[in-house]
Structure 1
Amino acid sequence: MASNPDRRRDGRVDGRRPPPAGATPASVPPRTVLEQLTAGARRSARITHTEHLPPRAGRHADWPSRIRPEVIDAVADAGIGRPWEHQARTAERALRGESVVVATGTASGKSLAYAVPVLSALLDGAERPGGRGATALYLSPTKALAADQRRALAELAAPLGTAVRPAVYDGDTPPEEREWVRQYANYVLTNPDMLHRGILPGHARWSSFLRALRYVVVDECHTYRGVFGSHVAHVLRRLRRVAARYGAEPTFLLASATVADPGRAASRLTGVPVTEVTDDASPRGELVFALWEPPLTELRGERGAPVRRTATAETAELLTDLAVGGVRTVAFVRSRRAAELIAVLAQDRLAEVDRSLPGRVAAYRGGYLPEERRALERALHSGDLLGLAATTALELGVDVSGLDAVLLAGYPGTRASLWQQAGRAGRRGQGALAVLVARDDPLDTYLVHHPDALFRKPVETTVLDPDNPYVLAPHLCAAAAELPLTEGDLALFSPAAAELIPQLQQRRLLRRRGAAWYWTSRRRAADLTDIRGQGGRPVQVVEEGTGRLLGTVDAAAAHTTVHEGAVHLHQGRTYVVRHLELAEAEGGPVALVEQASPPWTTMARDTTAITVLETETEVPWGAARLAFGSVEVTNQVVSYLRRKLVTGEVLGETRLDLPPRTLRTRAVWWTLTEDQLDAAGVTPEVLGGALHAAEHASIGMLPLFATCDRWDIGGVSVPLHPDTLLPTVFVYDGHPGGAGFAERAFHTAREWLTATREAIDACECESGCPSCIQSPKCGNGNDPLHKRGAVRVLTELLRGSGGQ
C-alpha cells in the first residue's frame, strides 16, 4: 500500500480512532471525509469530477382514512409520525385494489408504503369469522433481502399480536417449518425461484393461502430485466392463473429504484395495468459523489500498453483508510472474486495499523452458505463490521442504515444500479459520500471524463421480453403441469404461445385431451428451466481432503472459473482446483479443490464461432449494412493462462479439454465493403485487429444504451464471415433466446457506435489499452488489436449512417 501521510500507527486518521465494535460512530460531513481521502497532490489528482447533491426537505401527508388505526399506532410506535406524500399515495391506490409501483430513491420509505396497506388488510381479515383471513405474498430477488424484510416487518407488526404472522419460505427454510408456513402464515416472504419450483407446482398444499391472497408485493422490481425478468414475468402469470383457480385476484404492489417509465415496465412484468408513483417526497441529506480514476503505473501490459492501477487495489486502499477513520463503508464490486480480493487486501493493510481492525472488514457475496450470510448481516447491523466488500446482493434493499460512505469498484452497468448503490449510505438525513472508482475499461474511462453521462441523463428503461420462445416454452409446460392448459389461458402468457403449443406437442412434452393440454412427462416441469439463466445446476466447490462444502459456482461460469488448475478464492483463503466433474451425478457437478498459495492467478482462454440463423431486420448505412436477427454461438474454453499476482505477467499457458457450449440467441451485426475499407485506409494486415478492437470497445460502451453490462453480452469479429461474405462485427446477448440488449443496440446504433469511436479516439494511449480497446474477458488474449484501424473503420461506417 502506498504511504499515506495522514495515517498514524495508533490506528487514527487525522486524530480519529475507529469506534468500538457495536458502537455508533459520530457522523462526519462527507466533504471532510473526501478531503481526508484526497490529502496530498498524489491522491487529489485522481478525482476527475465531484458532484454535490444538496439536501432536500421532505413533504408529509396523512395516511388514508381506511388504514386501520392499530396499524397507524404501530407505525407511530416505530418512530414514524406522518408518512411522506408518496407513501400515502401508494397506500391509497393499494386500498382501492389498484396495482401500483412506487419508484423513488433509496431509503425513501418504499417498504413502509406497501407494508401499511398490507398490514391493514391482514388485520381486517383476522377479524372475519371462519377461514384463514387475508394473505399476502412478498417476492424479493435475493434471500438476504427477504430475511431482512421479515425482521423489519416483525418489529413493525409486534403491537398487532398474532393477527400478522410473517414467515420466510425459501431454500434455507427447514423442512419442519415449511408445513407451518403453508398452514398458518399470512404474510409469506419468498423469491421467484421458490415460487417457480416449490409453491406453484405444489399449489394444492397452498390452497387456503392462495384462496385468501389479497396482495402480491414485488420488491426491487427493476432487477427483473433481461432473461431473468422475462422468466419472472411468466412466473407471475402462472401465479395469477393458479390464484384465479381458487377464486383470488390479487393486487400487485411493486417497489423499484428510480427507472424510466416504471409503470409500463411493471405492467409488462405482471401482465396487469400498473399505476406509477414517482414523485419522491422524502428528505435527503447532502450527497457528495466523486469520480475517481486510478493512476497509471510504470508497468507495461499486453502489447506494451500502459497499465493503470486496478480498481480492486484502489478500492481496497480507500476501504482501508475509511475503516481506520471509523467511516462505516460498503464497497460494491462487480464479481465474487473481487469481493474476496478487496477484503483480503484491506485486512492485510489494516493489520499494519491495528491488530484489532482486520476482523472488522469482510467480504459478502453469493455462493456463501446460509449461516455465513446471516452472520455477516448481523455483524453489519450491530456495527461490529466497519467495512464490507460486497457484490450486488447488498445493493437490493437490505437495511444497511448507518453507513457513511459507499465505494463503487467499477460502474455497476446501469445508472439505476449506480444510484441504488450510492443511496445505501446516509444516516437518516445526514450526509453521505459516494466514490465511483473507474476500472481500466472503455466505459468507466469514458464516464469519469464525461460526468454528464452519469449526472445529467435519465436512468434507463427496464428491458425484458416475455415473448422470447426459449423463456415462454418451459413456462407453458410448467403451467400445464400445475393445471391443464386451455385455449383461454394462452393469451395470459403471450401472443406467441399458440405458435409454441404444436412444437411442444411434437416434442411430446404436452398432450392434448379434449379441450386442454396436459403435461405427461415423469419429470418435474419446473425443472425444465433455470429462471436465472445460469445454464444448469450450480457446481459445488468441495475441499478434497475433508469433503467440506465451501460454496457453489453458477454452471455458466464453471468452465472459466473452476476448471482444473484454476485459482479459487473463498473467505480470504486461496484454493487450487484439482478436478472438475461436470457429469450430472446424483449430487450434481462438483469441483474438488485444495488449499494452496500459488503466486499467480488464472485466466481462461476460449474460442467463439457464430452462425447467422435468421436476419430479422437489415438497414443500409451507405454501402455498409446494419442487421439484427437470430444467431448460434459456439464457445469452447481451450486453455488457461497463469499470471503473476502483482504485474499480470504471463507465466505460462495450459491446455484444457472441456466440451463446447452452444447458445442460440439474438445479435446485432454490421458489415463493410472492400471499397469502404480502401477508403478508410484499412489494409488486410490491419483489418483483423481493427475489427477486433471495434468489437471490444462497442461491447464496453453498450451499457450506456441498454440495461446491461459487458458480462451480459458477447462479441465476435471476422475479416470474412461465411454467412455475410464480408468483414463483420457481431454483438450478441449472452442468454438463450436473447435478452433484448442486442435489439436495443440495433435501434440506438448510431449513438452507440459514435460514442464507441469517440471513446477510442480520445484515449491518450499509443496503440491500445484497457481504457479503450482491450477487454478483461477476451478469450484470445487481446490479440490482434489495432487502435487507429478501429477508429478509421468506425468513422467510415458512421459516415453512411448519417451520424456525421
Structure 2
Amino acid sequence: MDQHADPQHPDPQHPDPQHLDPRAVLAHLARGTRAGRLVHVRTVPAREARTVPWPTWVAPPVTAAVQGAGIGELWEHQARVAELARAGEHVVVATGTASGKSLGYLLPVLTAVVEGADAASGRGATALYLSPTKALGADQAARLHALAVPGVRVATLDGDTPPEERRWVREHAHYVLTNPDLLHHTLLPGHERWRAFLRALRYVVVDECHVYRGVFGAHVSAVLRRLLRVAARYGARPTLVLASATVAEPQALARALTGQEVRAVTEDGSPRQEAVLALWQPPELEDGRRRSTLAETAGLLADLVDVGVQTVAFARSRQGVEVVAGRARDELADGGERRPGLVAAYRGGYLPEERRALESALRERRVLGLAATSALELGIDVAGLDAVVMAGWPGTRASFWQQAGRAGRRGSPSLAVLVAADDPLDSYLLAHPELVVDAPVEACVLDPENPYVLAPHLAAAAAELPLTREDVRWFGPTVPDLAEQLVAAGLLRRRPTGWYWARSDRPGDHLQLRDAGQPVQIVDTATGRVLGTVDEDRALTTVHAGAVYVHQGGVHVVTDLDLESGVALVVTGDPGWTTRPRTEGDFRVRVVQEEQVWGAATVSTGTVEVTHRVVSFQRVLPDGTVLGTHPLDLPERSMTTQAVWWALPEEELALAGVAQEDVPGALHAAEHASIGMLPLVATCDRRDVGGLSTAHHPDTGRPTVMVYDGRPGGAGFARRGYREMSTWLTATHDLVEGCGCATGCPACVQSPSCGSGNDPLDRTAAAAVISHLLSERAVAVPAG
C-alpha cells in the first residue's frame, strides 16, 4: 500500500509501546511543523508462517532441548536447510532478518555431535561456527548454552580466550564458535595441535556471509579454502552451511567464498508482522541548506524514546553515532527527561566490556534509544526493538533491509524511517522510492583470485602444508604462477615435492584479514585510560595532532599521534569546533584490462597505482565556518588497486559548452557525483571507493575522471561500475541535471570526504560533460 499524504495523529495519547501501531507512531513523528518532511510511506504486509512436521532423524536430546524452548514445528526453509545439511550437501540459506536461520543448521550439527558422542571412538563429531564479529559469536554462544543439549560441549575461541582455556577447547569442545581471523592466526598455523578436532570435523557454519564482500571477502574466501585443505589432510570432508541476509545470487556468493558447489535456500517460510517504511526529508533552513541528517535523526530518536518506543538509530560513521546519541540526550533533557543512560551509543572502537554492557541494557530495556553503526546490523539478538531510524542511505538495499529488520523481531509490527542525507544517492532515491522498496537487493562482489590477497594466503598455506600443483582444486588456476612469484620474493622454496615456506617467522603474522593496519590506541593523557582504538589508515584522518575526537559524548582533542608506537594521546575538552582533514592524491595507470570506445571518448578499467597524503586540517564551527587551515606532516600512502575511468578530448569538452577554465570544476563535480551514485549498481558504500579527476592526465593524454576501489588489489566495485557504465552514468547525469541548486550542493556534487574541501566544483558544467559523454555512447565501436 502506498501513502503519500502526510498522516495526522489519530490519537492525542502517546503510542502504546506494548501494542505498537507503527502508523500511529509515524503520525506522532510527522505532527505539526514536521508534517512536510514525510516524503513516502510504504507498508510491507504481514506474512503467514509455512510450517512442516518435525524431522524424525533429529537426535532425541536435541528434540527435547529445542521443543522445551517452545519450538514444536519448523518453518519450511529451516527444514529444507536441515535436510540438505544432514545429507552432506553444502547449503546457503538467504532469508530475511529474524527468520530463524540458525535453527536450520543447528539441528543437523547438534544431532551429529550427540550421535558422535555416543560412539565408542571417544570424542565424536565436531563443528566450527564462524561469525564476522565477536558480538554475534557471543550471542550464538548464549543461545546454545540456553539450550543445554546434554553431551554437547560448546566453547568460544577468540582473541580474548586465555591460553589454558584454548587447550581445553582443542581437546574437549564439540562446537567451537570463532571467527575467520582466529582461524587464520591460530588454528590453521597450529593445525597439528588441532588434528583430533579437525579429524572429527563434520560441519562448518559461516554466519552472516553477506558481510564477506570486497577485499575482506577475498581474504575470508582464502581462509575457508585453507581450512578445507587442512581438514582434508586429516581425512575430514566437512559440510558447509552458510547463512545470509537476503542477497541476490546467494549461490554465486557461496561458491565464490568456498570454491565448492552449494545449494541455495531462499524461500522464506517464517511469519512476519507488517512493517511500515518511511522516507524522510530534513527541512530546508533559511540559508538554503538542509538541516543536518544527524540532527534530524537525533530529534526523531529522542521523540520515539520519549513515548517509550525502543529504537535504534543507525549512523554511517563512529563520529555520527556519537553526535546522534549526544543530541538525543540533550533533547530529552530539554524536555524534562532526566533518566541517565536512556540513550547510548554503540560502535566499533569501544572496549569489549562496554559493548556487552550496552547489549544487556538494550535487552532489558534500560536503554530505550541506541545510536549505532552497522556493528549492530548483524543478527545480534536484541529482541524488543520497535523502530529503526537510519541517518542516511546505508549503502546498499541489502543493508537497508537488514537494518530495517532489527525491529519487529518478536512478532510485533515495526517502523523503519530512512532520513535522507544531503548526498547524491539519497537525493536520487527520494525521487525514486521504488528503487528502495521494490528493486531487488544487490549481489555481493568479491574476487577470490585477487593476486594481492591470494598470494600471501598461498604463502600461509605453504607454511601449513607444502603447496603443490594439486592445490589448484582449492585456490584456482593461478597457484603455480603466484607460487613462483613468492619464490622470486624469497618467501617460498621450490622442491620436487612442492613449494615450502622459506623463512623462520610465520606468514600469517604479516597478513591482516581486515586490511586495517596496526591498531592505534587512543589514550587519555590525564588518566592513562585507553578510550578506544582506530586502524592506522583511519588514524591519519581522525586522530592526527589537533583533531577533535568524540567518545561516548565526551569531546577530546588529540595532542600527539605516534604511528610507530601505535598511540594517539588526547586531552579532555570541547574547543567549540570540529576538524576536517585535507588530502592530496594522484594516480598512474599500470594496466588497461578492458576498454570501450564511445565515439571520441574512451571508457576503461584496469590496474592503477593511487597515492594520497593528509596535508592539513581545518577547524570548522558548527555553522560550517572555517576558522583556519593547519599543515600536517604525515606519511604518504600508496596502493595498487582496480579502477574505472573515462576520458574525453579537450575539444569535446568545448563542444559540450565547457570553457577551459571551468574544466577542473566540471570534472571534479562529475567525479563526486559518480562516486555517490556507484552504490546504485555495485554492492558498496561510497566510502568503499575513491576518485580523482584531472584536466590532463599524462597516461591518457586527456581530461580524465577515475573512480577506484579503496583497498589494495581491488574489491570488484570498479569492475561492476565498468560493466554497468551506461546505467551508472545515466543516473548520475539525471541527479546532477535535476538538482535545483545554483553551483553544487551536498545533494548532488559536494562530498563530505573531499580532500580539497569541495573546491573547485561546477554542477552545471558537470551535467554538460556527462551528457556529452553519454551522447558519444551512441557511436560506440568495439575497442581494438
Q: TM-score, normalised by structure 2?
A: 0.97
Q: Distance in 2 between matches of 1:225 and 1:386?
A: 32
Contact 2:98 2:409 in 1 (8 A): no
In the TM superposition, what is the alpha-carbon distance from 1:764 to its structure 2 partner?
Answer: 1.2
2:580 corresponding residue in structure 1: 603
Q: Distance in 1 between matches of 2:559 and 2:227?
A: 44
Aligned mate of 1:101, from 66, 71, 92 = 92
Q: Distance in 1 between matches of 2:19 and 2:176?
A: 37
Q: Distance in 1 between matches of 2:268 and 2:15?
A: 37
Aligned mate of 1:165, from 146, 153, 158 = 153
In the TM superposition, what is the alpha-carbon distance from 1:263 to its structure 2 partner?
Answer: 0.9
| Partner SS state of residue 720, structure 1 | strand
Is 1:187–2:175 an aligned residue pair? yes
Is 1:262–2:227 an aligned residue pair? no
Matches within 5 A, 1:290-369: 290-299=278-287, 306-369=288-351
In the TM superposition, what is the alpha-carbon distance from 1:248 to its structure 2 partner?
Answer: 0.6
Is 1:35–2:27 an aligned residue pair? yes
Q: Distance in 1 between matches of 2:779 and 2:709?
A: 25
| Partner SS state of residue 297, structure 1 | coil
2:4 corresponding residue in structure 1: none
Aligned mate of 1:512, from 477, 486, 494 = 494
Is 1:648–2:639 an aligned residue pair? no
2:604 corresponding residue in structure 1: 627
2:405 corresponding residue in structure 1: 423
| Partner SS state of residue 357, structure 1 | coil
1:684 corresponding residue in structure 2: 660
1:150 maps to a residue whose letter is: A
1:385 maps to a residue whose letter is: V
1:3 corresponding residue in structure 2: none
In the TM superposition, what is the alpha-carbon distance from 1:297 to its structure 2 partner?
Answer: 1.3
Is 1:448–2:430 an aligned residue pair? yes
Aligned mate of 1:748, from 724, 749, 765 = 724
In the TM superposition, what is the alpha-carbon distance from 1:523 to its structure 2 partner?
Answer: 2.4
Q: Distance in 2 between matches of 1:262 and 1:455?
A: 20
Is 1:113–2:94 an aligned residue pair? no
Structure 2, unmatched stretches of 5+, are 1-7
Matches within 5 A, 1:142-291: 142-156=133-147, 158=148, 160-161=149-150, 163-291=151-279
In the TM superposition, what is the alpha-carbon distance from 1:14 to its structure 2 partner?
Answer: 5.0
In the TM superposition, what is the alpha-carbon distance from 1:517 to its structure 2 partner?
Answer: 1.3
In the TM superposition, what is the alpha-carbon distance from 1:783 to its structure 2 partner?
Answer: 0.4
1:57 corresponding residue in structure 2: 48
1:577 maps to a residue whose letter is: V
1:737 corresponding residue in structure 2: 713
Q: Distance in 2 between matches of 1:104 and 1:696?
A: 35
Is 1:528–2:519 an aligned residue pair? no
Q: Distance in 1 between matches of 2:336 and 2:113?
A: 51
Q: Distance in 1 between matches of 2:85 and 2:237?
A: 13
Tell me the matched-pair count: 772
Q: Provide the aligned C-alpha RMSD in A.
A: 1.5
Is 1:477–2:459 an aligned residue pair? yes
Is 1:435–2:417 an aligned residue pair? yes
Q: Distance in 1 between matches of 2:354 and 2:505?
A: 33
2:547 corresponding residue in structure 1: 566
In the TM superposition, what is the alpha-carbon distance from 1:172 to its structure 2 partner?
Answer: 2.1
Q: Distance in 2 between matches of 1:149 and 1:716?
A: 43
Q: Distance in 2 between matches of 1:346 and 1:382?
A: 20
For residues 711-761 of structure 1, the C-alpha deviation after alignment (integer angstroms, 9 at most, x for no partner) is 000000100101111000000001001000000000000000000000011
Q: Structure 1 residues 39 and 63, CA, compared in 2 at 3 Å: closer, same or farther?
A: same
Q: Distance in 1 between matches of 2:670 and 2:488?
A: 43
Q: Structure 1 residues 803 and 364, CA, compared in 2 at 3 Å: closer, same or farther?
A: farther
Aligned mate of 1:551, from 532, 535, 543 = 532
Q: Distance in 2 between matches of 1:218 and 1:803?
A: 47
2:773 corresponding residue in structure 1: 797
1:422 maps to a residue whose letter is: A
1:74 corresponding residue in structure 2: 65
Contact 1:754 1:803 in 2 (8 A): no
Q: TM-score, normalised by structure 1?
A: 0.94
1:771 corresponding residue in structure 2: 747
In the TM superposition, what is the alpha-carbon distance from 1:174 to its structure 2 partner?
Answer: 3.0
Q: Distance in 1 between matches of 2:121 and 2:338?
A: 58
| Partner SS state of residue 669, structure 1 | strand
| Partner SS state of residue 400, structure 1 | coil
In the TM superposition, what is the alpha-carbon distance from 1:514 to its structure 2 partner?
Answer: 2.9
Is 1:696–2:672 an aligned residue pair? yes
Q: Distance in 2 between matches of 1:372 and 1:109?
A: 28
Q: Structure 1 residues 219 and 803, CA, compared in 2 at 3 Å: closer, same or farther?
A: farther
In the TM superposition, what is the alpha-carbon distance from 1:520 to its structure 2 partner?
Answer: 2.0
Task: Give % identity.
Answer: 59
1:71 maps to a residue whose letter is: V
In the TM superposition, what is the alpha-carbon distance from 1:445 to its structure 2 partner?
Answer: 1.0
| Partner SS state of residue 570, structure 2 | strand
1:574 maps to a residue whose letter is: V
1:457 corresponding residue in structure 2: 439
In the TM superposition, what is the alpha-carbon distance from 1:176 to its structure 2 partner?
Answer: 3.3
In the TM superposition, what is the alpha-carbon distance from 1:522 to its structure 2 partner?
Answer: 2.5
Mean Cα deviation higher: 336-345 or 350-359: 350-359
Q: Distance in 2 between matches of 1:655 and 1:555?
A: 19
Q: Distance in 2 between matches of 1:580 and 1:65?
A: 62
In the TM superposition, what is the alpha-carbon distance from 1:390 to its structure 2 partner?
Answer: 0.8
In the TM superposition, what is the alpha-carbon distance from 1:803 to its structure 2 partner?
Answer: 10
Contact 1:487 1:516 in 2 (8 A): yes
For residues 459-484 of structure 1, the C-alpha deviation after alignment (integer angstroms, 9 at most, x for no partner) is 11110001111000110011111111
In the TM superposition, what is the alpha-carbon distance from 1:198 to its structure 2 partner?
Answer: 1.4
1:122 corresponding residue in structure 2: 113
Contact 2:599 2:779 in 1 (8 A): no
1:543 maps to a residue whose letter is: D
Contact 2:218 2:446 in 1 (8 A): yes
| Partner SS state of residue 563, structure 1 | coil
1:719 corresponding residue in structure 2: 695
In the TM superposition, what is the alpha-carbon distance from 1:691 to its structure 2 partner?
Answer: 0.5
Q: Distance in 2 between matches of 1:736 and 1:358?
A: 44
In the TM superposition, what is the alpha-carbon distance from 1:355 to its structure 2 partner?
Answer: 4.4
| Partner SS state of residue 291, structure 1 | strand
For residues 634-693 of structure 1, the C-alpha deviation after alignment (integer angstroms, 9 at most, x for no partner) is 100000010012x12111110000010001001100011233212211110111100000
1:539 corresponding residue in structure 2: 520
| Partner SS state of residue 253, structure 1 | strand
Mean Cα deviation higher: 631-640 or 57-66: 57-66
1:302 corresponding residue in structure 2: none
In the TM superposition, what is the alpha-carbon distance from 1:498 to its structure 2 partner?
Answer: 1.5
In the TM superposition, what is the alpha-carbon distance from 1:530 to its structure 2 partner?
Answer: 1.3
Q: Distance in 2 between matches of 1:172 and 1:653?
A: 42
In the TM superposition, what is the alpha-carbon distance from 1:72 to its structure 2 partner?
Answer: 2.1
Q: Distance in 2 between matches of 1:761 and 1:673?
A: 22
Q: Distance in 1 between matches of 2:286 and 2:497?
A: 73
| Partner SS state of residue 192, structure 2 | helix
2:82 corresponding residue in structure 1: 91
Contact 2:54 2:72 in 1 (8 A): no
In the TM superposition, what is the alpha-carbon distance from 1:452 to its structure 2 partner?
Answer: 1.0
| Partner SS state of residue 702, structure 1 | helix
Is 1:708–2:697 an aligned residue pair? no
Q: Distance in 2 between matches of 1:189 and 1:342?
A: 33
In the TM superposition, what is the alpha-carbon distance from 1:626 to its structure 2 partner?
Answer: 0.3
